[in-house]
Amino acid sequence: MRSLCLIREKHFVLVGCIVVGLLGCLVGCKQATDQSVTLSSSKTFQLSNPLIITKKKLFKDSTTVRLERPYPGAILWFQSEGINTQLNSTPKAYSSPIILSENTKLLAYATHPDYKTSDTVALEVYKIKQPLNQAQISVFPPANDAYPGKGAATLINSTKGPLSFRNSEEWLGFNQPVVRIDLVFEKAIVMNKVYISSLIDQDAWIFPPTNIIVKHNNTAIGTLYNKEAGQPLMAQLKTFIVDIPIKSYTQLSIEIAALNNIPEWHPGKGTQSWLFIDQILVE
């Protein structure tokens, strides 16, 4: 009988040791897990990008831009770059909406003590200095039936198309090698720049133009060659600027060449790219 009691006593001691060991393991593992979570949240993960929000990317007098932080406690930073000017600012902490009154590229990013700095995002806004809504406009060939916008006048209605193009009526989409836009102005306009606003979304086979030629009376007066046309690019709204001699013009023709042979790195290699345009501006 005594030996049986000793066996039971040793059995209880062994079970107790196992229980204590398991509890110790659980506590240790929890501490290790907590430590791992703490370490992983410190400078391991990158912040999401901030949002740049404005109601008017094209404006007559001014536009207001605001930033939204991607995470509680994040600090937002911004700087502005003048388009066609050298008026660039240094990064500043964002505290209130930003008012812009000239052609500007706004850059923004977010920081946080526990995370890596976000990528930098950009937004371009343009002042309408010479409204074209009264001009006569024709486009050849016409836009594809799938993306007709509101007709040729879409390009001079002072309204920007969004990055999400599929349900928008502000984009003209072309699946052609060259698009020609003819403009006849209601009255002569003094200008020295032509702006062509386009979309880049290579996941949807939409590439930037390869080159743009501006003509007056069938004579080329300005040319832009785009060396990045066949390079991998993030989805974005992009405006191309063609310089022309400063003088008074009553009409212009703009010839825009699309990438007609998508490069090898893309799933659509060897095929005609899409070209999307939403606005023509002059200055």
> What is each CA distance from 196 to 104, 176, 190, 248, in whole angstroms?
16, 17, 18, 19
pLDDT score recorded for residue 4: 38
The CATH architecture to which 136-282 belongs is: Sandwich (2.60)
CB 191 within 8 A of CB 246: yes
pLDDT score recorded for residue 84: 67
Rounded to whole angstroms, the Cα distance separating 192 from 148 reads 29
Domain ranges of the chain: 51-127, 136-282
pLDDT score recorded for residue 87: 61
CA dihedral sign of residues 150, 140, 180, 189: negative
Global pTM? 0.79
Count CB neighbours of 262 within 10 A. 19
Among 39, 7, 116, which residue's Cα sits nearest to residue 71?
116
Per-residue pLDDT of the chain (283 residues; tens, 9 = 90+): 444 343 344 444 444 444 444 444 444 444 444 444 444 455 789 999 999 999 999 999 999 999 999 999 999 999 988 886 656 778 999 999 999 999 999 999 999 999 999 999 999 999 999 999 999 999 999 999 999 999 999 999 999 999 999 999 999 999 999 999 999 999 999 999 999 999 999 999 999 999 999 999 999 999 999 999 999 999 999 999 999 999 999 999 999 999 999 999 999 999 999 999 999 999 9
Rounded to whole angstroms, the Cα distance separating 27 from 18 reads 14
Pick the CATH number of 51-127 from 3.40.50, 2.60.40, 2.60.220, 3.30.70: 2.60.40
